[in-house]
Amino acid sequence: MTIAKGDKIPSTTFVTMTENGPDQVSSDEFFKGKKVALFSVPGAFTPTCSAKHLPGFIDKADELKAKGVDVIAGTAVNDAFVMGAWGKAAGADGKITLLADGNGDFAKAVGLEMDGSKFGMGTRGQRFSMIVNDGVVEELNVEAPGEFKVSSAEYLLEQL
């Protein structure tokens, strides 16, 4: 079942890259007591994700925060090393928290996984964005396959 507006984010574990290496963070702790703009991409370093999705959130970070967002986070079914390198390459440091969902546990728990096998990618997370307030989904925008419209930073800004 796909997560919906009004649902609580399920309990899973992400991994973030820190100066000291990978660090686990529970979704319960991450989303607790704050408003989070979360976006999901099928894969770090993939064309649309690197050329449009992550850069859009970097460019609009100040505007999102001015509208009450405490944290901007991106997730993908990639390991923490890949997510850390992707963030550095894009200049996301200090603006975007990248959450590695290496085994796809979060994507499965929210019902937004996809089969990327025909592209050699296996099971991944769909492209989507959401506003999560104190662990509860306030807005949810899931892209149609091959699209990049409703999960953009610009679209999310309009919803705030």
Residue positions annotated with a catalytic role: 49
Around Cβ 20, how many Cβ atoms within 10 Å?
6
HSE-CB at 107 with a 13 A cutoff on CA atoms is: 28
